Amino acid sequence: MENSGASGENDLPMSTEESRPLALLIPGLDGTGKLFYKQVPPLSARYRVRAWQFQPGGKSDFPGLVEELGRATVSESPGSILLIAESFGGSVALQFALRFPARLRQLVLVNAFSYYRHRTRIGLACHVAPLLNMKGARGIKNLVVDRILAREGILKEDRRKYSEIVRLVDLPGYCRRLELIQQVDLRARLKNISMPTLIFASGRDKLVPSIPEARYMASVMPRAQVHEFPRAGHALLLTPGFNLADYV
């Protein structure tokens, strides 16, 4: 039946930004929150989007990071927060979900892990990371990363922006987050994360075995669902056509 009156969504009260639930975006090792830039505009149609930035310096630990987020979200309505985290940030988000479960409406993890199995690789990265202060080493690293991103289908403009964002990374904080990865093991506690959870995993991820990790977490977490992207790499958030807002 046709609608002959001027009713429908035009009659609904307009949603102000203040009335929208919070979408809190937790970054990976870069710690800047700026690599979510492609996802912020579509999410902003339904959420107040806040891309978190870790405090600079090398003295943080997981309890401190979780409490920092806790203080920032204390005024949010119960069960209202959409918590989205990528890579290292997933470990922070999982611990936030355990510490403040009543605050979340949904948890979203992108190429994340509850335990990083390649501990030797992380140990090597911890020793090599200070060399990034050297211009030559930093240039080589940027060239390698650019080629990897290109092979994974990341567009030239997004590769350029990625490089600009990475220059902003606080190196002491970055090194400290590498050290924290060696400490994290949340496998025994995953069964206690009961809110709806979406886990996104890339098949060509060079940093995290994302699909096996996602499948493992979903096998333990009561309400988790996995979405796999076999041809995408670790930078799924920058992959053409990938839109978090389509899923949440």
pLDDT value at position 114? 97
Pairing of the two strands 224-229 and 104-110: unpaired
pLDDT value at position 10? 39
Domain extent for 56: 18-246
Tens digits of residue pLDDT in 118-152:
766 655 555 565 655 555 555 666 678 889 999 99
Whether 5 is in a domain gets the answer: no
pLDDT value at position 146? 87
Residue 36, domain CATH: 3.40.50.1820
Whether 1 is in a domain gets the answer: no
pLDDT, mean over the chain: 88
Whether 109 is in a domain gets the answer: yes
Tens digits of residue pLDDT in 32-47:
999 999 999 999 999 9
Compute, in degrees rounded to 10, the torsion defined by CA atoms 171, 98, 85, 164: -20
pTM of the model: 0.86
Per the structure, the count of domains in the chain is 1
Tens digits of residue pLDDT in 66-117:
999 999 999 999 999 999 999 999 999 999 999 999 999 999 999 999 999 8
